[in-house]
Structure 1
Amino acid sequence: MTASQEHDWILRPATRSDLQNVCELINTCSLALHGVRVDAQRNVDLTWRQPGFSLETDTRVAVLFDGRIVGYSEVEDTEAPHVRAGSWMRVHPQFNGLGIEVALLDWVERRANETIAKAPSEARVTLTQGIQDEDLSMKALLEQSGFVSKRHFWRMEIDLLGDLPEPAWADGISVRTFVLEEDLEALVHAHRNAFCDHWGHVDVPFEQELREWGYWIRNDPEFDQTLTFLAMADATIAGYSSCDPRHSEDPAMGYVSVLGVTRPWRRRGIALALLHHTFREFKNRGQQRVCLGVDAASLTGAVGLYEAAGMRSTRQTTIMEKELRPGVDLSLQALGGGTES
C-alpha cells in the first residue's frame, strides 16, 4: 500500500454510532492545541439531538478506509430568521495537509449557502466559525476562503482562594434558585431583555427561544437548577446567573454559562453580586476555579465587571465571518445605531 492509498478518505454524514469517535477526535485536537483533554460528549450529543438539526444534512465526517474518523464539521442553522449560519471543524493533527480540511470547509460553505433561501429577501446572510488563536493553520485556511476576523471572545477565570467577598445586593433585591416548571418562561423573557443590546444579537421569535431553552435544560443530564440563581425584585427577575457544575476541560472548574441583568436594573451592582454569590456557591461545592466566556469588546462593559470581580483572561477565540449575501444587517453591531470604531 502506498502512502497516498494508506491515507485515502471519504466524507459522509455522521451517524449516532460515530458519537464516541467524533468526541475522541475533538479531544485529540484539544490536546494538540492546548495540552488538555476535553469531555465533549454531552455537548455534541445535545447538539445532534436538538430540534431542527439533522445529522444527514448538517454534519460530515472524514473517514479513512480503515474506519478511523479524522475530520468532522457541522453547520448549525436552526434559528429563524436564518441570517447567520454557525459552523466549526476539527481535523486530526496527524492528517493535516491531506486536503481533508479543504474538503470539509467546501462542504460547510455549500451547506451554509442553503440558508440564503430561508432568510428575509433584504437581509445580509453570513457564515461564522469560531477558532482558537493557537490554530494558525485553520485561521489561514479560512482567510484564504474569504473569511475575515470579526470579533474576539475571551475565557475569563478566577481561582477560588481564601475568603471570597459576600454579595452586596441592591435594595429590594433578593436571590433564590431557579425552579424549572415555574420560572422558565420568565427567565427567557429576562434573557431576551438582558442580551438584546449585545453585539451580534438577532431577534428571534419568543416561542422559538423558549423551545430552545426548554430543550437544552430538559435534555442536559448535568443541568442542575440549583446552580441557576435569580436576582428577584419582588416577583420580577432582575438578573440571573445560570451555571454548569463543571467545565468540559476541567472537572474542578465551575462554568458560568450565561449571566445577565435586565436593562431597568443595570448600574445597581446586581451583576457583581450575582458573580460573588456564584463564586461562593461553587467554592462551597468544592470547585477550585470558575470561568465564563465574554465578548472582549463587550458593548455593555462586561469585561470591566469581570475584572473588578477578580477574573482574568486565559484564552481567546476569534469569530471568523464570511458574507454569503449582502444586504441589511439584522444583527446588532453597535449601540445607538452607530458604527463601532
Structure 2
Amino acid sequence: MKAIERESEFSGIPASFSVRPATPGDSGIATDLFNRCSLEQLGHTEFTAEDLDHEWQSPGFDLAQDTRLVFAPDGTLVGYVELWATAPYVRMYSWGRVDPQHRGHGVGTSLLQWVENKARRRLSQAPEGTQVVLVQGTLSTDLLAQELFAIRGFSLARYFSRMVIELDGPVPDPVLPEGIVIRPFVRGVEERALIRAISVAFKDHWGYVQRPEEEDFRQWMHHIDHDPEFDPSLWFVAMAGTEIAGMSLCHNHLPEDPEMGWVGTLGVLRPWRHQGLGLALLHHSFREFQHRGRRRIGLGVDAQSLTGATRLYERAGMKVVRQYVNFEKELRPGKNLATLDLGA
C-alpha cells in the first residue's frame, strides 16, 4: 500500500519517513516491531502475527481509520499506533510502539498527536454531557513513554499488575460455597448468559463502562468463534442452580511464555462474594492447568482492585512480577460513566 498524503500530525518527523494505515498483510512486520520493543524492555518476545490478525479483525475495528504506521527511509516499520473506540465512546484506548533505534525523531510524539486528534473527531459519538477520556498504557519501567504522555497532557490514573504462581506442589482442593458447582461452560448454549454474567461481575471493576449488550455480545463472540487458541474446556463457570455465580476463563498459554497458563477473566457476582468462591475458582483452574502439565500460571489485575482481587490472588500464592501503568487525558468534561468505587 502506498503512503498517504502526510497528515499534519506527522509534520515533525523527517521528510524521508513515510506514513500510512496498516493493511491485513502488515501483521508480520508489525509483530516484528512489537517484539523488538519487547526484547529491549523485557528481554523476550511477546507477540505473534496470528494473534494480531485476530485482533485486527475485531468487530468495529477499521485498519484504514484506526491505525497509522511510520516507515524509515529503508522501508523498516519504526512506529505504530492504534485507536480502540467502542460504544458508548466515553473511554477510548490507544496503544503504540516506536522502534528503540528510531527514538528521538518525533515518531512517538507524532503518533500520539495523531491518535488524540482521531479520538477527538469521535467525540460526537459519545452521549451528550458525558466525560470522554483517552487512555494509554505502558510498562511501569518505560519512563520514556511516561514522560511523553506527561508532556502531551496525560495524567497517571492507575497501576495494573501481572501476578504469577509457580505450582511446586499439589493444589488445594477447591472449597465451594454450599450449592455451588464448577464445570466447563457449554458452547453453543451458554454464550449469552455467560457474557451477561461477565458484564454484571465487572461492573465493580475500576474504569468499567457498560457497553450496549449486543456490542458486548459481538466482541465476545468474535473471540469465541475466531480465536484459534480458544479452548472451551478451559472456560469454567460456577453455577448456583441455573444461575452463573462466577467464572474463570482461561487460556492454555501466552505467546510470550508457552509454559505459562493464563487466567484471562475471573469474576464473582455480588450475591456470591465473600464466601470463598473466587479462591475456589482459582484452585479449580490451577488444578486443571497442573493436570495439563502447566507449572506456572499468570493473570492481570488492577493493583488497587475495588473488590480486593489482589489480596485474593496473594492468598492463593501469586506474586507480582510486572507492573503496568495507565495514563488518561480528558478530551471532554462531563459526567463520568465509568466505575470509580463500589458506592453504587
User: What TM-score bracket applies, with the shorter chain setting the length?
Assistant: over 0.9
| Contact persistence 1:239–1:259 (CA under 8 A) | yes
- Contact 2:59/2:218, CA 8 A, preserved across alignment: no
Q: How far apart, in 2, do the equivalents of 1:291 and 1:49 lie? A: 26
Deviation at 1:7, TM superposition (A): 9.2
Q: How far apart, CA to CA, are the structure 2 residues paired with 1:112 and 1:193? A: 28
CA distance in 1, matches of 2:75, 2:251: 34
Residue 209 of structure 2, aligned match among 192, 202, 225: 202
Q: Name the aligned partner's letter for residue 276 of structure 1.
A: H
| Aligned match of 1:314 | 321
**For the Cα contact (< 8 Å) 1:10–1:64, is it kept in 2?**
yes
In the TM superposition, structure 1's runs of 4+ consecutive aligned residues that sit over 4 Å from their partners are: none
Q: Which runs of 5+ in 1 are unaligned?
A: none
RMSD: 1.4
Deviation at 1:6, TM superposition (A): 9.8
Partner secondary structure for residue 188 of structure 2 = helix
For the pair 1:277 / 2:284, whether they are aligned, the reply is yes
Aligned pairs for 1:299-310 within 5 A: 299-310=306-317
Paired residues of 2:14 and 2:105 also in contact (CA < 8 A): no
Work out the number of aligned pairs and report it. 332
Question: Conserved in 2, the CA contact under 8 Å of 1:227 and 1:244?
Answer: yes
**Cα distance, 1:213 vs structure 2:** 0.7
Partner residue in 1 for 2:31: 23
Aligned counterpart in structure 2 of residue 241 of structure 1, from 232, 245, 248:
248
Measure how far apart 1:65 and its partner are: 2.6
In the TM superposition, what is the alpha-carbon distance from 1:268 to its structure 2 partner?
1.2
| 8 A contact 1:229–1:240 mirrored in 2 | yes
CA distance in 2 between counterparts of 1:171 and 1:26 reads 47
Distance 1:6 1:145, change over 3 A: closer
Residues 6, 84 of structure 1: CA spacing in aligned structure 2 closer, same or farther, 3 A cutoff?
Answer: closer
2:61 maps to amino acid: F
Aligned pairs (5 A) from 1:54-69: 54-69=62-77
Q: Please report the TM-score for the alignment, with normalisation by the length of structure 2.
A: 0.94
Tell whether the 8 Å contact from 1:26 to 1:40 is kept in structure 2 after alignment: no
Deviation digits for residues 210-257 of structure 1, max 9, x if unmatched? 111111111100100000011111121111100111012100001110
What SS does the aligned partner of 2:141 have?
coil
Deviation per residue, 1:312-341 (Å, 9 max, x gap): 11111101000101111111111216xxxx
Partners of 1:191 and 1:151 lie apart in 2 by 22
Name the structure 2 match of 1:267. Answer: 274
Question: What is the distance in 2 between the residues matched to 1:209 and 1:197?
Answer: 17
Q: 1:124 aligns with which of 131, 134, 150?
A: 131
What corresponds to 1:52 in structure 2?
A: 60
Looking at structure 2, the residues matched to 147 and 11 of structure 1 have their Cα atoms a distance apart, in angstroms, of 24
1:159 aligns with 2:159: no
1:134 matched residue in structure 2:
141
**Contact 1:42-1:220 at 8 Å conserved across structures:** no
Counterparts of 2:118 and 2:46, CA distance in 1: 27
TM-score using structure 1 length: 0.95
